[in-house]
Amino acid sequence: MNRSITANSAQAGFTLIELIVVIVILGILAATALPKFTSLGGDARLASLQAAKGALSSTAAMAKGKYLVNTTGTALTTLMVEGKTINYTTVGNGYPKADSGLADASGLSDDYTVLTGAVTADTTTTPGNAGGQITIIPRSIAGTAAAVNCFVRYTEPTTKTAAPIIALTATATACE
């Protein structure tokens, strides 16, 4: 007794042509979306520099506040913040000196290249730096052409009534 069961069911699945069409459509969509995702590096560096600017500003304000509430009767020359030493400017206004201590106390030394003190001119890979300034550059672009237009600069005050200038020189496009 030889019984065979024959099913009258239709084949289920996709043809080879349908699969190729779907793969081509996915490839086109990926090619149009890819440029958007590749430019996110510049946006991330810009956001990081904005945070670095805020950290410098907060540290300078904290140092100024500590200077103002000083009750020792002698002018402060240094301040310890997070185990790091901040040096005050010599003009006696309570703002931090532009040196590596400010970058360390702001928590920037590990993720950024910090240019301090020496007077240098712009090069093709490094922004210029003057005395009384520190320049903060993301490590990922330090030493590249992008670094010239993607940085934060702290300029210490030079008079007793002045505040420091903390300038962000960057755009998402410049930081790519």
Each residue's pLDDT tens digit, 128-148? 888 899 999 999 999 999 999
Q: What does the longest C-alpha to C-alpha distance in the chain come to?
A: 114
By C-alpha distance, which of 176, 94, 87, 75 is closest to 134? 87
Which DSSP letter does residue 97 get? P
> DSSP H helical segments within 11-166, as ranges?
16-38, 40-68, 100-105
The more confident residue out of 92 and 111 is 111
How far apart CA 19 and CA 9 sit, in angstroms, is: 22
Asked if the model's pLDDT at residue 167 lies above 70, the reply is yes
What's residue 11's pLDDT? 67
Residues 4-13: what's their mean pLDDT?
A: 63
Look at residue 78 and tell me whether its pLDDT is greater than 80: yes
Chain mean pLDDT for the chain: 87
Handedness of CA 153, 157, 105, 58 (dihedral sign): negative
SS3 assignment, position 75: coil
**For 95-99, what is the mean pLDDT?**
92
More confident residue, 20 or 72: 20
Task: Point out the least confidently predicted range of 11-15, 19-23, 141-145, 154-158.
Answer: 11-15
pTM: 0.76
Question: What mean pLDDT do residues 124-131 have?
Answer: 89
Average of per-residue pLDDT across 105-111: 90
Does position 48 have pLDDT exceeding 80, yes or no?
yes
